[in-house]
Structure 1
Amino acid sequence: MQAQPVLSRWASIVVALLALSILPGLAAAQTATPTITLDASANGGSTTIVPGAVFAVSLAENPSTGYTWQLQPLGEVVVGVIGDRFVPESGDLRLGAGGRRVITFAALAPGTETLILRRLRSGEVTAAPSDTFSVTITVEPRTDGGY
Protein backbone atom coordinates (compact mmCIF):
# COMPACT_ATOMS: atom_id res chain seq x y z
CA MET A 1 0.00 0.00 0.00
CA GLN A 2 2.91 2.41 0.63
CA ALA A 3 4.33 1.97 -2.91
CA GLN A 4 1.47 3.89 -4.54
CA PRO A 5 1.98 7.23 -2.69
CA VAL A 6 5.78 7.03 -3.12
CA LEU A 7 5.40 6.36 -6.86
CA SER A 8 2.96 9.28 -7.20
CA ARG A 9 5.34 11.55 -5.34
CA TRP A 10 8.25 10.60 -7.63
CA ALA A 11 6.08 11.06 -10.72
CA SER A 12 5.09 14.52 -9.47
CA ILE A 13 8.73 15.44 -8.89
CA VAL A 14 9.75 14.26 -12.37
CA VAL A 15 6.91 16.22 -14.01
CA ALA A 16 7.81 19.35 -12.02
CA LEU A 17 11.50 19.07 -13.00
CA LEU A 18 10.58 18.63 -16.67
CA ALA A 19 8.33 21.69 -16.53
CA LEU A 20 11.09 23.75 -14.91
CA SER A 21 13.59 22.67 -17.56
CA ILE A 22 11.25 23.83 -20.37
CA LEU A 23 10.35 27.25 -18.91
CA PRO A 24 13.68 29.01 -19.60
CA GLY A 25 13.49 28.05 -23.29
CA LEU A 26 9.96 29.40 -23.61
CA ALA A 27 10.88 32.62 -21.85
CA ALA A 28 13.94 33.07 -24.08
CA ALA A 29 11.86 32.56 -27.21
CA GLN A 30 9.30 35.14 -26.14
CA THR A 31 11.96 37.73 -25.29
CA ALA A 32 14.23 36.98 -28.26
CA THR A 33 15.41 40.09 -30.05
CA PRO A 34 14.19 40.14 -33.64
CA THR A 35 16.93 40.12 -36.26
CA ILE A 36 14.57 41.84 -38.72
CA THR A 37 11.71 44.24 -38.00
CA LEU A 38 9.20 44.81 -40.79
CA ASP A 39 7.08 47.96 -40.71
CA ALA A 40 4.44 49.50 -43.00
CA SER A 41 7.08 50.07 -45.69
CA ALA A 42 7.31 46.26 -46.14
CA ASN A 43 3.61 46.02 -47.07
CA GLY A 44 3.20 43.93 -50.22
CA GLY A 45 6.85 42.92 -50.21
CA SER A 46 8.81 39.83 -49.32
CA THR A 47 11.82 38.81 -47.29
CA THR A 48 13.98 35.70 -47.01
CA ILE A 49 15.27 34.25 -43.73
CA VAL A 50 16.64 30.96 -42.37
CA PRO A 51 15.09 28.51 -39.87
CA GLY A 52 15.52 29.73 -36.31
CA ALA A 53 15.55 33.41 -37.28
CA VAL A 54 13.37 35.72 -35.21
CA PHE A 55 11.59 38.62 -36.89
CA ALA A 56 8.85 41.08 -36.02
CA VAL A 57 6.08 43.00 -37.74
CA SER A 58 5.60 46.45 -36.16
CA LEU A 59 2.58 48.52 -37.22
CA ALA A 60 1.09 51.77 -35.90
CA GLU A 61 -1.99 51.17 -33.76
CA ASN A 62 -4.25 53.02 -31.36
CA PRO A 63 -6.46 50.47 -29.58
CA SER A 64 -8.53 53.22 -27.94
CA THR A 65 -10.17 53.79 -31.35
CA GLY A 66 -11.42 50.21 -31.27
CA TYR A 67 -9.24 49.19 -34.22
CA THR A 68 -6.45 46.67 -33.73
CA TRP A 69 -4.24 44.67 -36.07
CA GLN A 70 -5.36 41.06 -36.28
CA LEU A 71 -3.21 38.33 -37.82
CA GLN A 72 -5.10 36.06 -40.19
CA PRO A 73 -4.64 32.30 -39.60
CA LEU A 74 -1.34 30.93 -40.89
CA GLY A 75 -1.55 28.24 -43.54
CA GLU A 76 1.76 26.40 -43.39
CA VAL A 77 4.06 25.53 -40.51
CA VAL A 78 6.79 27.84 -41.80
CA VAL A 79 6.66 30.53 -39.12
CA GLY A 80 5.11 30.66 -35.67
CA VAL A 81 4.01 33.53 -33.43
CA ILE A 82 6.13 33.83 -30.29
CA GLY A 83 4.91 37.22 -29.10
CA ASP A 84 2.15 39.78 -29.64
CA ARG A 85 2.11 43.04 -27.71
CA PHE A 86 1.16 46.70 -27.86
CA VAL A 87 4.05 49.11 -27.28
CA PRO A 88 3.07 52.68 -26.32
CA GLU A 89 4.76 55.37 -28.43
CA SER A 90 7.86 56.76 -26.69
CA GLY A 91 6.82 55.22 -23.38
CA ASP A 92 3.60 57.30 -23.30
CA LEU A 93 1.35 55.46 -20.86
CA ARG A 94 -1.57 57.91 -21.01
CA LEU A 95 -4.97 56.38 -21.66
CA GLY A 96 -5.77 56.58 -25.37
CA ALA A 97 -2.18 57.12 -26.50
CA GLY A 98 -1.11 55.51 -29.75
CA GLY A 99 1.75 53.13 -30.25
CA ARG A 100 2.71 50.06 -32.21
CA ARG A 101 1.42 46.49 -32.45
CA VAL A 102 4.52 44.28 -32.46
CA ILE A 103 4.03 40.64 -33.42
CA THR A 104 7.18 38.53 -33.12
CA PHE A 105 7.67 35.38 -35.17
CA ALA A 106 10.18 32.54 -35.34
CA ALA A 107 11.08 30.83 -38.61
CA LEU A 108 10.31 27.15 -38.03
CA ALA A 109 10.89 25.29 -41.29
CA PRO A 110 11.78 25.91 -44.94
CA GLY A 111 8.88 27.10 -47.07
CA THR A 112 6.87 30.19 -47.93
CA GLU A 113 4.15 31.88 -45.89
CA THR A 114 2.24 35.09 -46.57
CA LEU A 115 1.44 36.98 -43.38
CA ILE A 116 -1.79 38.95 -43.63
CA LEU A 117 -2.87 41.40 -40.96
CA ARG A 118 -6.15 43.30 -41.03
CA ARG A 119 -6.97 46.35 -38.92
CA LEU A 120 -10.47 45.71 -37.59
CA ARG A 121 -12.70 46.66 -34.71
CA SER A 122 -12.98 43.90 -32.14
CA GLY A 123 -15.80 41.52 -32.95
CA GLU A 124 -16.26 42.80 -36.52
CA VAL A 125 -14.53 39.92 -38.28
CA THR A 126 -16.79 40.09 -41.35
CA ALA A 127 -16.52 43.88 -41.79
CA ALA A 128 -14.15 45.39 -44.33
CA PRO A 129 -10.83 46.22 -42.64
CA SER A 130 -9.79 49.86 -42.32
CA ASP A 131 -6.30 48.80 -43.47
CA THR A 132 -4.40 45.66 -44.45
CA PHE A 133 -0.78 44.58 -44.36
CA SER A 134 0.79 41.58 -46.07
CA VAL A 135 4.32 40.32 -46.50
CA THR A 136 5.60 37.06 -47.95
CA ILE A 137 8.20 35.27 -45.84
CA THR A 138 10.44 32.68 -47.46
CA VAL A 139 12.39 30.46 -45.09
CA GLU A 140 15.30 28.90 -46.95
CA PRO A 141 17.31 25.95 -45.64
CA ARG A 142 20.52 26.91 -43.90
CA THR A 143 23.70 26.47 -45.91
CA ASP A 144 25.97 26.35 -42.85
CA GLY A 145 24.81 22.91 -41.69
CA GLY A 146 22.63 24.29 -38.87
CA TYR A 147 18.92 23.71 -38.42
Structure 2
Amino acid sequence: MQSFNILGAICLTLLLSGCATTVTKPSADVKQQFKLGQNCVQPVNLKVGEKISFSAAENPTTGYGWQLQQPLNYLTANSQYVADPVEKQIVGSGGTRTFYFTATQSGQENIQLAYVRSWAKDQPAQSWQCQVNIQP
Protein backbone atom coordinates (compact mmCIF):
# COMPACT_ATOMS: atom_id res chain seq x y z
CA MET A 1 0.00 0.00 0.00
CA GLN A 2 2.88 2.36 0.82
CA SER A 3 4.46 1.82 -2.62
CA PHE A 4 1.11 2.75 -4.20
CA ASN A 5 1.07 6.05 -2.22
CA ILE A 6 4.64 6.83 -3.30
CA LEU A 7 3.80 6.05 -6.94
CA GLY A 8 0.67 8.21 -6.69
CA ALA A 9 2.68 11.10 -5.23
CA ILE A 10 5.24 10.84 -8.04
CA CYS A 11 2.49 10.81 -10.71
CA LEU A 12 0.77 13.81 -9.11
CA THR A 13 4.05 15.72 -8.97
CA LEU A 14 4.72 15.00 -12.64
CA LEU A 15 1.21 16.07 -13.62
CA LEU A 16 1.42 19.33 -11.70
CA SER A 17 4.88 20.14 -13.00
CA GLY A 18 3.50 19.84 -16.54
CA CYS A 19 1.06 22.66 -15.73
CA ALA A 20 3.78 25.04 -14.62
CA THR A 21 4.85 27.68 -17.10
CA THR A 22 8.28 29.17 -17.12
CA VAL A 23 8.65 32.76 -18.18
CA THR A 24 11.73 33.40 -20.25
CA LYS A 25 13.44 36.74 -20.53
CA PRO A 26 13.77 38.28 -23.98
CA SER A 27 16.74 36.92 -25.82
CA ALA A 28 19.78 39.20 -25.67
CA ASP A 29 20.53 38.49 -29.32
CA VAL A 30 17.23 40.00 -30.57
CA LYS A 31 18.03 43.22 -32.43
CA GLN A 32 14.55 44.74 -32.18
CA GLN A 33 11.46 43.71 -30.20
CA PHE A 34 7.99 44.74 -31.34
CA LYS A 35 4.62 44.50 -29.61
CA LEU A 36 1.08 44.75 -30.94
CA GLY A 37 0.26 48.41 -31.51
CA GLN A 38 3.90 49.23 -32.14
CA ASN A 39 4.55 49.89 -35.81
CA CYS A 40 7.50 48.28 -37.47
CA VAL A 41 10.06 50.85 -38.63
CA GLN A 42 10.01 50.43 -42.40
CA PRO A 43 12.15 48.66 -43.37
CA VAL A 44 14.05 46.88 -40.61
CA ASN A 45 17.64 46.23 -41.66
CA LEU A 46 19.16 42.95 -40.48
CA LYS A 47 22.33 41.05 -41.16
CA VAL A 48 22.29 37.29 -41.66
CA GLY A 49 22.01 35.69 -38.22
CA GLU A 50 20.28 38.65 -36.54
CA LYS A 51 16.78 38.38 -35.03
CA ILE A 52 13.69 40.46 -34.42
CA SER A 53 10.66 39.52 -32.35
CA PHE A 54 6.95 40.32 -32.17
CA SER A 55 4.77 39.76 -29.06
CA ALA A 56 1.02 40.00 -28.63
CA ALA A 57 -1.73 38.78 -26.32
CA GLU A 58 -3.35 35.50 -27.35
CA ASN A 59 -6.13 33.39 -25.86
CA PRO A 60 -6.26 30.00 -27.64
CA THR A 61 -9.48 28.98 -25.89
CA THR A 62 -11.35 31.62 -27.93
CA GLY A 63 -10.22 29.92 -31.12
CA TYR A 64 -8.09 32.89 -32.11
CA GLY A 65 -4.36 32.62 -32.60
CA TRP A 66 -1.54 34.50 -34.27
CA GLN A 67 -0.51 32.98 -37.61
CA LEU A 68 1.90 33.78 -40.41
CA GLN A 69 -0.07 34.72 -43.51
CA GLN A 70 2.55 33.70 -46.07
CA PRO A 71 5.66 31.52 -46.17
CA LEU A 72 9.01 33.16 -45.45
CA ASN A 73 11.99 32.77 -47.78
CA TYR A 74 14.82 34.64 -46.05
CA LEU A 75 13.78 34.35 -42.40
CA THR A 76 13.03 31.42 -40.12
CA ALA A 77 10.17 31.80 -37.67
CA ASN A 78 9.69 30.22 -34.25
CA SER A 79 7.05 31.08 -31.71
CA GLN A 80 6.52 30.60 -28.01
CA TYR A 81 3.31 30.89 -25.97
CA VAL A 82 3.53 31.80 -22.28
CA ALA A 83 0.33 31.69 -20.22
CA ASP A 84 -0.42 34.62 -17.94
CA PRO A 85 0.25 33.87 -14.27
CA VAL A 86 -2.97 32.96 -12.46
CA GLU A 87 -3.71 31.65 -8.97
CA LYS A 88 -5.01 28.37 -10.37
CA GLN A 89 -4.63 26.81 -13.77
CA ILE A 90 -7.99 27.55 -15.35
CA VAL A 91 -9.36 26.93 -18.77
CA GLY A 92 -9.73 30.12 -20.73
CA SER A 93 -6.83 32.10 -19.34
CA GLY A 94 -4.84 34.03 -21.88
CA GLY A 95 -1.17 34.62 -22.40
CA THR A 96 1.40 36.04 -24.79
CA ARG A 97 2.61 34.65 -28.11
CA THR A 98 6.10 35.74 -29.18
CA PHE A 99 7.46 35.14 -32.66
CA TYR A 100 11.22 35.13 -33.25
CA PHE A 101 12.41 35.79 -36.80
CA THR A 102 16.02 34.97 -37.70
CA ALA A 103 17.64 36.20 -40.92
CA THR A 104 19.01 33.21 -42.86
CA GLN A 105 20.12 34.76 -46.17
CA SER A 106 20.24 38.07 -48.04
CA GLY A 107 17.00 39.40 -49.51
CA GLN A 108 13.80 41.27 -48.75
CA GLU A 109 11.01 39.76 -46.67
CA ASN A 110 7.54 40.94 -45.69
CA ILE A 111 6.33 39.45 -42.41
CA GLN A 112 2.53 39.34 -42.21
CA LEU A 113 0.87 38.10 -39.03
CA ALA A 114 -2.86 37.90 -38.35
CA TYR A 115 -4.94 37.10 -35.27
CA VAL A 116 -7.48 34.70 -36.75
CA ARG A 117 -9.57 31.61 -36.17
CA SER A 118 -8.05 29.01 -38.49
CA TRP A 119 -11.44 27.67 -39.64
CA ALA A 120 -13.10 31.08 -40.21
CA LYS A 121 -12.94 33.05 -43.43
CA ASP A 122 -13.51 36.36 -41.59
CA GLN A 123 -11.15 39.29 -41.69
CA PRO A 124 -8.43 39.06 -39.02
CA ALA A 125 -9.34 40.53 -35.65
CA GLN A 126 -5.87 42.14 -35.60
CA SER A 127 -2.81 42.14 -37.81
CA TRP A 128 0.83 43.23 -37.91
CA GLN A 129 3.37 43.43 -40.69
CA CYS A 130 7.00 44.32 -41.11
CA GLN A 131 9.26 44.78 -44.13
CA VAL A 132 12.77 43.39 -43.55
CA ASN A 133 15.92 43.94 -45.62
CA ILE A 134 18.62 41.36 -44.98
CA GLN A 135 22.27 42.01 -45.78
CA PRO A 136 25.09 39.42 -45.78
What is the percentage of aligned positions where both structures have the same residue? 26
Q: Which structure has the bigger radius of gyration?
A: 1
Q: SS state of the match for residue 84, structure 1? A: strand
Deviations 1:41-77 (A, max 9, x none): 43354321110012221111111221111111225x2
Of 99, 107, 110, the match for 2:106: 110
Structure-2 separation of matches of 1:140 and 1:95: 44
In structure 1, runs of 5+ residues without a counterpart are: 1-31, 142-147
Q: Is the 8 A contact 1:80 1:107 kept in 2?
A: yes
Residue correspondence of structure 1 range 1-147 to structure 2 within 5 A = 33=27, 34-35=29-30, 36-43=32-39, 45-46=41-42, 47-75=44-72, 77-81=73-77, 83-89=78-84, 91-92=85-86, 93-124=89-120, 126-141=121-136
What is the alpha-carbon distance in structure 1 between the residues aligned to residue 125 and residue 40 of structure 2?
16
Question: Which 4+ stretches in 1 moved above 3 angstroms?
Answer: 41-45, 91-94
* RMSD, matched Cα: 2.1
* Whole-angstrom distance in 2 between the partners of 1:72 and 1:61: 17
Q: How many residues align?
A: 106
Q: Would you say the 8 A contact 1:80–1:106 is kept in 2?
A: yes
> What TM-score do you get using the length of structure 1 for normalisation?
0.62
Contact 1:74 1:113 in 2 (8 A): no
> Which structure shows the higher helix fraction?
1
Q: Which has the higher strand share?
A: 2
Report the CA distance between 1:133 and its aligned residue.
0.9
Per-residue deviation, residues 4-55 of structure 1 (Å, max 9, x unmatched): xxxxxxxxxxxxxxxxxxxxxxxxxxxx935132212433543211100122
